[in-house]
Amino acid sequence: MDENNIVVMKFGGTSVGTVEKINNVADRAIKANKEGKNVVITVSAMGDTTDDLIELSAKISEKPSRREMDMLLSTGEQVSSSLVAMAIIEKGSKAVSLTGYQVGILTDDTFSEAKILDVGKERILSEFSNGNIVIVAGFQGITEKGDITTLGRGGSDTTAVALAAALDAKYCEIFSDVDGVFTADPNVIPDARKINKLSYDEMLELASSGAKVLHLRAVEYAKNHGVIIHARSSFNNNEGTWIMDTEGFNDKMEQAVVSGVSYDTNQVKISVFGIPDEPGVAARLFSEFAAAHINVDMIVQNVSEKGKAAISLTIKNEDLDIAKKVIEKMKTTFSIESVQIDTDIAKVSIVGAGMKSHPGVASKMFSCLGENNINIEMISTSPIIISCVLRKDRVKEAVKLLHECFTLEKE
């Protein structure tokens, strides 16, 4: 057995959504296997199965135990993995499906958001030596105690990357219903271009600023373990987007100044007015948010007047309810004058590794928005990403303008 000739292929929910599509996955696996590769397939649950299971649980319990939720949701991937195995066997090849437990995907016990601690490879290698294609149920693991966990929504990507790392696979192919990572959301920008190569850091910034192609944790895992990802479509044979270390790039010319534009409408702005402008106040304010597990994204503090300052920050929509409680508590412990919550905002970002060595990218972005009468309310920058907060009803227009300004469209 050629242990180095291992590929991991991951198929998302839409790619296993019907019997026909399951057969398509089986064909791809068999083809790769016949080419002499040892094939591991990871699958998500079929179609909307996970959402349907969540809906079902809500009819029984408003706030179900997280352990029981994981027990429930992990069944979706068990269904799809066994069906893929059956399809492969039906077509005359050898296959076996395995749960996270059977593989030995060990996680911590943070139910519904578990982190992978270790991935066993013995069982998979022994299945290879029996001539099997191995199908692993995505999104799930097992605690040391033996409880089933899940890795967070979209977590099958992480399963795939973790398997590729453990097995030292050549690369990890992530199949979905899109051709790869695009210069912008193709639903908003019809002439967005597929990106051929991205560095891990660019992909991380794109994923965390709103691009939905890959699970953020999967990219982090890939970066930490040097797993090359090929994100591509399960419906055609087109080359997709390769995500790897920049050392894998042939030359620096491949590093675009701006690789893509992303946007996020899932944001809320909170402005706190009249906070005492004294050392330590910001620290106390933000430690209250941190203690409530709220991730604060952008922060702006204005110039203080008469010893009082104002701070604006953005958080994710889903954290708003907890944030409101934190603010109520802060009103009593700090001498804050007022708080404003604004849900009509969105964030637009440009990402590119080449920005580091090209001055003037930020000013070009601001002029592009300004000339088109789009007001920028907050700005944040780091070496390879620049983000602006603006009115939500202008965000798609902003994506379109920036995509044009930085000439990202198809040739």
Q: Smallest distance, Å, CB 228 to ligand ASP?
A: 20
Least separation in angstroms between residue 44's CB and Mg ion is 4
8 A C-beta contact, residue 118 and residue 104: yes
Q: Minimum distance between the CB of residue 49 and Mg ion, rounded to whole angstroms?
A: 8
Give 42 or 44: the residue with its C-beta nearer to Mg ion. 44
Query: Site for Mg ion (CB under 5 A): how many residues?
Result: 2
Q: What is residue 166's DSSP assignment?
A: H
Q: Which of residues 30-49 bind Mg ion (CB under 5 A)?
A: 44
Q: Give min distance, CB of 180 to ligand ASP, in A.
A: 18
Cβ-proximal residues to 359 (8 Å cutoff; 6+ apart), any chain: none
Q: Is 210 in the site for Mg ion (CB under 5 A)?
A: no
Selection from Mg ion, ligand ASP, none that 153 binds (CB < 5 to 8 A by kind) is ligand ASP
Q: How far apart are CA 388 and CA 363, in angstroms?
A: 12
Query: Minimum CB separation from ligand ASP for residue 150, in Å?
Result: 7
Residue 13 touches Mg ion, criterion: CB under 5 A: yes
Q: Which two tokens stand for residue 220?
A: 């982090």
Q: Shortest distance, CB of residue 74 to ligand ASP, whole angstroms? A: 9
As a whole number of angstroms, the distance between CA 61 and CA 193 comes to 45
Return the number of the residue (176 or 262) whose C-beta is nearest Mg ion.
176
C-beta of 120: minimal distance to Mg ion in Å?
24
Enumerate binding residues for ligand ASP (CB under 6 A).
Answer: 13, 44-45, 50, 76, 138-139, 153-156
Provide the token pair at 23: 């057969």
Candidates 16, 83, 84; CA nearest to 48 is 16
Determine the interface stretch with Mg ion among 8-16, 104-112, 182-190, 384-392 (rule: CB under 5 A): 8-16
User: Of the two residues 152 and 186, which places its CB atom closer to Mg ion in the complex?
Assistant: 152
- Binding to Mg ion by residue 80, rule CB under 5 A? no
Q: How far apart are CA 183 and CA 194, in angstroms?
A: 6
Is the Cβ–Cβ distance between 246 and 199 less than 8 Å? yes
Residue 76 in the binding site for Mg ion (CB under 5 A)? no
Does position 100 bind Mg ion by CB under 5 A?
Answer: no
Instruction: Determine the Cα–Cα distance for residues 161 and 169; give it in Å rounded to an integer.
Output: 9
Residue with Cβ nearer Mg ion (13 or 352): 13
Distances (CA, A) of 129 to 4, 10, 28, 84, 122: 13, 21, 20, 20, 11
Which residue lies nearer to ligand ASP by CB, 76 or 274? 76
Give every CB contact of residue 133 below 8 A, 6+ residues apart in sequence: 29, 30, 33, 39, 40, 41, 85, 88, 93, 94, 95, 96
Nearer to Mg ion, 107 or 176 (CB): 176
Contact residues: Mg ion, CB under 5 A: 13, 44
